[in-house]
Structures are given as structure tokens and as C-alpha cells.
Homo-oligomer: A and B are copies of this chain.
Amino acid sequence: MNTRVPQQQRGIQTKQQIIEAAMRLFSQKGFHGTNTKEIARAAGVATGCFYAYFGDKKAVFMEALTLYFAQFHQIAQEQIARLSTAGAGQKPFFKEMIRSFLKAHGVFKDFHHELTAMYYTDPAVLQLVAAYDAACIGYISRYLTGIQAQLRVTDLEAAAKVVYWSIHSVVDAIAFTAAPNEAQLVDALADMIESYLFAPSGTPAAQGVRPDDSLSPGG
């Protein structure tokens, strides 16, 4: 039987409830540890109803995933837009970006992990995630292109990737291990990215670098 596309208000709401319940359960117990009956019950509907809206269990996961990414994209885009216009080349840019990621991570932390697990396991998930990663890298790449003049690196493609993956993994490590020294790690990460991207400002000022101001022009 084909999947139902809800037409009425009620149907749309039901579908939404199912997605939310599924996300909650996947986050708590993982995809493999959650069964459709549980999802249905948590959503307050009958088992059969689940299959009226979703072709199979993976379908909810994918839909939840799409939603999840949409939110990420939105946050990221807003961030980029804000920072880009606020004055291109402002160095706090990356620190802000890291904080953005951290925050976004926090919202659906556990779902993010389940997602990562599926990523390596399921091609469809991989594709979705890869698209998202590519988009993020694209943002960074465009940003770098915009401030190319200030940079010491030349291969902007590679730089964007390296920067993205570094942020990605450090943020993940922070979020997952609930690192107590979060602030230092964020500082160190931002410092690394900035040391890498930006040319030292002409003077040998780099000694005694302190993460935040080391690159402030004024030098």
C-alpha cells in the first residue's frame, strides 16, 4: 500500500507526532534498539497507523534526518550571513562558528550520534550526510574566497575541508565527552584555524600568542 500524504490538519499533526516520537526514541535507544510498535505507542497512534505514513522504519529516520539537517542549515546560513555582513574578515568568525556548531549539536545531541552510527552503515544516510557536509564546506569555502586577500593559504578548497572536519570532530568530542575544559578546547581550535588561515600580520608578533587577540590587526 502506498504511503499516505496527509491532507487534513489532523493527518499532518499525526505524522509530525510520529517523527518526533521516533527521533526521541532513536536518540535514546538507537535505530536498531527501537521498534515500530514503540514508536507508534510513543506517538499515541496504533501500529498500523505508522505504516500509513511511512513506508518502513527507515523512512521515519530519513525524514527525521532531513528535518534535522534543515534546522542545521538554517542556523548555519543565518550565522554566515550575519558574520559575513558584520564585517568580513573579522577573526571571531571561526570562534562564532564553532559555538554555533556546539549549540546546534547540543539540541539533538543524541540524535546526532545515532545519525553518525547510521552514516557508516546505510548508504542513503551517507548520501544525505555527505550532501550536508558538502554544503557546510561550501559555506566555508565561499567565505574564504570572500576574504582571500587576508589569507596565507592558497588552496581554498582543501583549506575549507580541513577546517570543516576539524571543527566537526572537536565539537563532537566536546559534546560527547562533556569535556570540562570546553573553553580551552574551543580557544585552541579557533587558534589553530586562525593560525593556519591568516598570515601573521607582518610583524613577528606571534610570540606569546593568546588565542583571541593574537590576530587582531592593530598589530
Contact = CB atoms under 8 A, between A and B. Distances in A.
Contacts of A117: 116-121
Main secondary structure of the interface of A (DSSP, over half): helix
Copies in the complex: 4
Contacts of A181: 157-158
A35 to B, nearest CB: 8
Contact of A166 (B130, B169, B195): B169
Contacts of A152: 195, 206-207, 209
Interface string A161-200: 1110110111011001100010011011101110110011
A37 B192 contact: no
Contacts of A176: 120
Given A192-B193, A204-B204, A165 B161 contact: no
Given A30-B120, A117-B119, A162-B188, 4 more contacts: A116-B120, A161-B170, A165-B170, A168-B169
Interface of A: 1, 30, 32-33, 35, 37-38, 113-114, 116-121, 130, 152-153, 155, 157-159, 161-163, 165-166, 168-170, 172-173, 176-177, 181, 184-185, 187-189, 191-193, 195-196, 199-200, 202-204, 206-207, 209
